[in-house]
Amino acid sequence: METWISILKKQWHIIVFTVCFLCVCGIFEARMSPKMYTSRALIQIKADTSSLLDKKVFPGGNEQTFYTSQMILLEDPHLAWEVIQREGLYTDGEMLSDLQESFLEESQSPFQSLIYYIRSLPFMLTDYSGNERYPKEGTAQDNDAYEQINEERKKKPYTEKYARFLDVERYGSPDTDIVAVSFTTGDPVLSFLLAAAHSDAFMDRAMKTEFASSESSRNFLGKKVEELKERLAANQKEVNALRIRSGDILVGDKETLATREMGNLQSSYGKEREARISLEMAYTALETRDNSVFMNNPTIRQAEQDLLTAESVRNQLLSSLTREHPRFKEAEATVLSARNYLENIKKEIKERTLSDVLIAKAREEKARDALQKKREEYETNSNTVGPKIAFLEREIEINGGILSRLQEKLQTLQMAYHMPISYMRVVQRAEFPFYYSSPNEMNIIVLWTCAGFLFGIFFACVREYFDRQYLWSREDVETVTNLSVLADIPLEDSNNELIVGNGFQSPASEAIKGFAAYILQKIDPPGSILFASVEPAAGKTFLLANLAHALLLQEKRIAFISADLHHPRCGEILGFNEQGKGLSDILMQESMPVKDCLGEMDTIRFFFIPCGTYVHDASSLLACSRMVELLRCLRDKFEYVLIDAPPLLLSDWHVLARQTDYVFPVVRSGRITNADFENLVRSLAHMKIKVPGILLNGTDGTKSLYSAKYDYNDFERNNMRNET
């Protein structure tokens, strides 16, 4: 918890900026988003599981699969095209009606338009070949393909836009049988018109399919009823003839075991016959209904949808590629495979139903053979006609029961032919939308604001992660090491690098003066001072030059050595020439003592030794005994000896550090990592060098409450104003 609080305290400006920016984006999105109106119609879809065709036309089907198939039919592109043509939304002319303009208008928010443009950019950059996109006039097949492509090109923009407006989903609970058909457009009249027309077109199509199924079933059952009536009449005629020939023999209470067995066989034969009739009716419906019954099968609907998709992809490729192109051939093969798969499924259903019919016929023939065999045995073993009469009467009774049931079902189908569909109905018709359904401006703004907060937290964590890899503040430095920060020098905007004692005060100059006061009070005895830094441009030369100026203001005698023989800058800051003779010349001139090279220094308060002539092996030169003697002479004559050395990465610094009394590491805020600083401190400890403290350079001075509210230059401005 404390970690999160510290992140919020340090990176709060990033979070606030991100939240404000995305909140403004949300307000812009809410204001610029077009108002959309939704009209909805409710349709109840329920399967009639008691019908004769339910399990035979729909093998393995149930109410759920039937419901799913009707949901697919509601989103059929052919149904959409039928509604578009019926309502006059399609036109080839330039003059458009208000409804046509509303239908073709793109209602998108600015961000949705940007996303749509980004998604369509790869297609816009596609390099089309120079071949002919469409077939020229030639064979009849090419002309038909050309007409089909043009027809699909006309339909595609309308059906795609229609599908974007349409939304089909369950209404209420997941187990409900009510479907909500909704249309959302920028025109309330168009939404109401499409919702009402789509539900009506779907009901019309479903009613035509049901009526076609009822008509074929009525014809089949009518034929079977007539056959049963003829058979009953023949049996009754035979019974009457036997009664006349036998002198009207009664067999009621005199029924034998053989006649009872024959009665059971006759009953079994009647059941198998009834099953065969039902299966033949299902197969006849498949053959005579022009395949309309397949529309209730979800597998076939899915196969048809895959075929339409494959044909659409093929036509789209044909609009930009030739028939010999590999991609077009692959699309053509996909269409052929989908068409073969659809035909195989239809053929499989027909073959399965035909197989059931053949099995039922075989079972019926088996029962009939058993009955015939038993009848022959009875007639052989009995010389009476009573059992035969009883058998015929039993057959008349069974066939009469079958006839009554078939007549009842035939009457039901005849009634359904003149009545509305029982398993589909419009529960609630579409209503005119008086108020827009989207956008929800408050939800959009809240969503964007929450997204801004989450992104702000993410960016703050990323910034905090990278910040923790570097040293930024006094707390960061003191966390890594047990050394204290002696001075916190803010960034200086002035072009003049010598900021101490130039007539204008600043936070940086005051911090350097404070460090000079620390040296005067704590560094005892005075001696040589060296600044250390890991990376270049840490500001050690700048701090050392201003420290020298601050000590001079305290009337101390200072000796300054420019020992950075690779990149000297002290003379540029202090105003001295680095090109003449200097340190390297003194160390190389072994014939003359060091004191003689330095000359008279008793009356000089500031003694500057430039770097001198450039040498290749600077570390060997600085490690000589004359350098030790030079430092000893300067300590005897001056209170403080300030040495400007190269960065820690060069060996020159290690040589000078062993010859110096005090070393102050200089850390540039945000420039040095924790690992590099730990290596610096570890290196100083290994060399057993005395380190009183650390200097932190380049911090953000605006974060200091003191520097932000106190203007150092008020006193100088007041003096200048009074003098003027």
Q: What is the mean predicted confidence (pLDDT) over 621-647?
A: 90
In a domain, 184, yes or no: yes
Which of the residue ranges 15-24, 208-217, 379-388, 429-438 has the most confident prediction, judged by mean pLDDT?
A: 15-24
Are 25 and 93 part of one and the same domain?
no
pLDDT greater than 60 at residue 413: no
- Taking CA atoms, 593 is separated from 193, 362, 598, 601, 632, in Å, by 110, 132, 9, 15, 13
pLDDT, one tens digit per residue, over 534-570 is 778 888 888 999 999 999 998 899 999 999 888 888 8
Number of domains, the chain: 3
Are 498 and 647 part of one and the same domain?
yes
**Residue 710 has what DSSP assignment?**
-
- Which stretch of DSSP H or E encloses residue 169? strand 166-170
Are 150 and 228 part of one and the same domain?
yes
Least confident segment among 43-57, 106-120, 189-203, 236-250? 43-57
Q: What is the mean predicted confidence (pLDDT) over 162-185?
A: 83
In a domain, 212, yes or no: yes
Q: What is the mean predicted confidence (pLDDT) over 494-509?
A: 78
Residues 524, 551: contact at Cβ < 8 Å? no
Are 514 and 652 part of one and the same domain?
yes
- Which stretch of DSSP H or E encloses residue 644? strand 640-644
Q: Whole-angstrom Cα distance, residue 382 to residue 376?
A: 10
Are 524 and 419 part of one and the same domain?
no
3-state SS of 119-160?
HHHHHHCCCCCCCCCCCCCCCHHHHHHHHHHHHHHHHHHHHH
Which residue did the predictor score with more confidence, 205 or 665?
665
Least confident segment among 350-359, 466-475, 680-689? 466-475
600 CB burial (10 A radius; 0-12, 13-18, 19+) = exposed
In a domain, 253, yes or no: no
CA dihedral for 677, 678, 683, 686, sign (positive or negative): positive
Average pLDDT, the chain: 75
pLDDT greater than 50 at residue 59: no
Are 496 and 461 part of one and the same domain?
no
Are 452 and 501 part of one and the same domain?
no
pLDDT, one tens digit per residue, over 245-279 is 544 444 455 555 556 677 777 888 888 888 888 77
pLDDT at position 266, please? 80
Are 197 and 295 part of one and the same domain?
yes
In a domain, 239, yes or no: yes
Which of the residue ranges 291-300, 327-336, 375-384, 711-720 has the most confident prediction, judged by mean pLDDT?
A: 327-336
pLDDT at position 76, please? 74
In a domain, 470, yes or no: no
pLDDT greater than 60 at residue 707: no
Residue in the structure block whose two tokens are 């984006």: 25
Q: How many residues comprise the chain?
A: 724
Q: Radius of gyration (Cα) for the chain, nearest Å?
A: 51
Residue in the structure block whose two tokens are 């998604």: 119
Which value, to the nearest 10 degrees, does the dihedral of the CA atoms of residues 667, 670, 674, 677 take? -20
pLDDT at position 265, please? 79
Are 183 and 97 part of one and the same domain?
yes
- Which stretch of DSSP H or E encloses residue 462? helix 441-467
What is the identity of the amino acid at 166? L
Are 422 and 445 part of one and the same domain?
no
pLDDT at position 640, please? 93
Q: Which CATH number goes with the domain that contains 688?
A: 3.40.50.300
Burial 1-17 (b: 16+ CB within 10 A, else e): eeeeeebeebbeebbee
- Taking CA atoms, 209 is separated from 47, 241, 292, in Å, by 14, 49, 6
123: its two tokens = 């297609």
pLDDT at position 558, please? 92
Cβ neighbour number for residue 126 with a 10 Å cutoff: 7
pLDDT band with cut points at 50, 70 and 90 for residue 303: confident
Cis peptide before 610 (omega within 30 of 0): no
309 CB burial (10 A radius; 0-12, 13-18, 19+) = middle
Cβ neighbour number for residue 465 with a 10 Å cutoff: 10
Residues 6+ away with beta carbon under 8 Å from 587: 621, 622, 624, 626, 627, 630
In a domain, 472, yes or no: no
Q: Whole-angstrom Cα distance, residue 628 to residue 622?
A: 9
Q: What is the mean predicted confidence (pLDDT) over 494-511?
A: 79
In a domain, 277, yes or no: yes
Residues 180, 40: contact at Cβ < 8 Å? yes
Residues 6+ away with beta carbon under 8 Å from 478: 484, 485
Please choose, from the candidates 278, 292, 247, the residue with its C-alpha nearest in 3D space to the C-alpha of residue 357: 278
Residues 445, 11: contact at Cβ < 8 Å? no
- Which stretch of DSSP H or E encloses residue 665? strand 662-668
Which residue did the predictor score with more confidence, 630 or 212?
630
Please choose, from the candidates 588, 526, 531, the residue with its C-alpha nearest in 3D space to the C-alpha of residue 562: 531
pLDDT at position 54, please? 39
In a domain, 61, yes or no: yes
Are 275 and 327 part of one and the same domain?
yes
What pairs with residue 322 in β-bridges?
A: none
Residue 100 belongs to domain spanning: 38-246+258-428
Least confident segment among 89-103, 420-434, 580-594, 679-693? 89-103
Are 374 and 336 part of one and the same domain?
yes
**Residue 453 has what DSSP assignment?**
H
